[in-house]
Amino acid sequence: MTVSFQTPAPDSLAVPPDWPVLYEEARALARREPLLAPSLSLYFPDGGDLALALGARLAETLQTPCIGTERLRLLFVEEFRRDAGLVTAAQEDLYAIRSRDPACDTYLHAFLNLKGFQAVQAYRVAHALWSAERTELALWLSNRVSVAIGVDIHPAARIGLGVMFDHATGVVIGETAVVEDHVSILQNVTLGGTGKHGGDRHPKVRRGVMIGAGAKVVGNIQIGANAKVAAGSVVLKDVPPNCTVAGIPAQIVRIHDASQAPAESMDQSL
């Protein structure tokens, strides 16, 4: 098979990547780095597809002595085959990373090396299992991701499309949290509960939000669309859309769009 490799230019990032894009990037890398060729051939065989590639990559990362690589691969591939939306979500996430992360110059790099991407795809399978009332297996998989990758996402949490978990180490997302589309979350971010009550107790992060490294967002609160939470902030109250908050406790430090500014009487302490 003859393939050509060309790193996509920024203006070519029009749509999420499909199988041929990743396949060609994998073959080109195998030629440049023969040491990686066996793994790349496993993930990207001739005649394969993204469901097989994702299943093989996740299984290799999350296997245990008792539940080996092949059994996990079959589980993942079965879920990706059963719900094509899971594969579409993976494509959207790859596109988000490639578009937003200046350190990511190929889709393949995100697929192979970024544990935030892997953690989110494993979460998506765990969430599918949870929704199908296979809760014990979903919780096992969630715990396995936490142990192997260092990202702790409850399988009942709801996460949208096109999300980027940059670095991802130490990210914790609780059971009733919601993360909408096109959100970016950096390392050591917590979307947690207060511990004072049950029920709906975790944050709701709306579309287009960016949460900086080490930020803690606690309680059943809203982070409005396109808001930014600065690194190290502790957010305890609702954040309006289109603003930046920072500090402990977090306060509004910038309004991105004057038409979205809060009323003069709004409590600026968050």
Q: Are 239 and 227 in contact (CB under 8 A)?
A: yes
| 142 lies in the same domain as 178 | no
Is 68 inside any structural domain? yes
pLDDT of amino acid 13: 53
Q: Give the count of domains, the chain.
A: 2
Are 25 and 128 found together in one domain? yes
Task: Provide the CATH number for the domain around residue 270.
Answer: 2.160.10.10
Sign (positive/negative) of CA torsion 205, 53, 115, 74?
Answer: positive
At 111, give phi and psi (nearest 5°): -65, -45
Q: Which of 150, 182, 210 is the C-terminal boundary of a domain?
A: 150
Residue 8 confidence (pLDDT) above 60: no
Instruction: Please say if the pLDDT value at position 15 is more than 80.
Output: no
The answer to the question of residue 3 being in a domain is no
Q: Are residues 86 and 180 in the same domain?
A: no
Look at residue 159 and tell me if it is in a domain.
Answer: no
Q: What pLDDT sits at residue 262? A: 42
Residues 208-264 pLDDT 10s: 999 999 999 999 999 999 999 999 999 999 999 999 999 999 999 999 875 544 443
Does the pLDDT of residue 269 top 90, yes or no?
A: no
Model pLDDT for residues 43-59, shown as the tens digit of each residue: 999 999 999 999 999 99
213 with 270, same domain? yes
Q: What is the pLDDT of residue 194?
A: 83
What's the pLDDT score for residue 249? 95
State yes or no: pLDDT of 134 exceeds 60.
yes
* 185 and 146 part of one domain: no
State whether 29 and 69 are in the same domain.
yes
Segment among 26-30, 145-149, 194-198, 241-245 with least mean pLDDT: 194-198
User: Domain containing 216: what range?
Assistant: 170-270
Distance (Å, whole) CA 240 – CA 50:
38
Residue 48 sits in a domain whose CATH number is 1.10.3130.10
Same domain, 255 and 201: yes
Is the domain of 47 the same as that of 83?
A: yes
What average pLDDT does the chain have? 89
Per-residue pLDDT tens for 73-93? 999 999 999 999 999 999 999
pLDDT average, residue stretch 118-131: 97
Tell me if 124 is assigned to some domain.
yes
Which domain-ending residue is among 120, 150, 180? 150
Residue 256 confidence (pLDDT) = 85
**pLDDT confidence band for 62 (50 / 70 / 90):** very high
Alpha carbons 122 and 171: distance in angstroms, whole number? 14
157 falls within a domain: no
- Which of 118, 150, 182 is the last residue in one of the domains? 150
Which has the closest alpha carbon to 17: 61, 60, 53?
A: 53
Q: Tell me, what's the pLDDT at 195?
A: 79
Percentage of the chain lying above the pLDDT 70 cut: 89
**Same domain? 207 vs 132:** no
Are 130 and 86 within one domain? yes
Does one domain contain both 198 and 146? Answer: no
What's the pLDDT score for residue 122?
A: 97
Instruction: Flag whether pLDDT at 6 surpasses 90.
Output: no
Is there a single domain that holds both residue 131 and residue 33?
yes
Instruction: Please state the pTM of the whole predicted model.
Output: 0.88
Confirm whether 165 is domain-assigned: no
pLDDT for 21 equals 93
Could you tell me if residue 220 is inside a domain?
A: yes
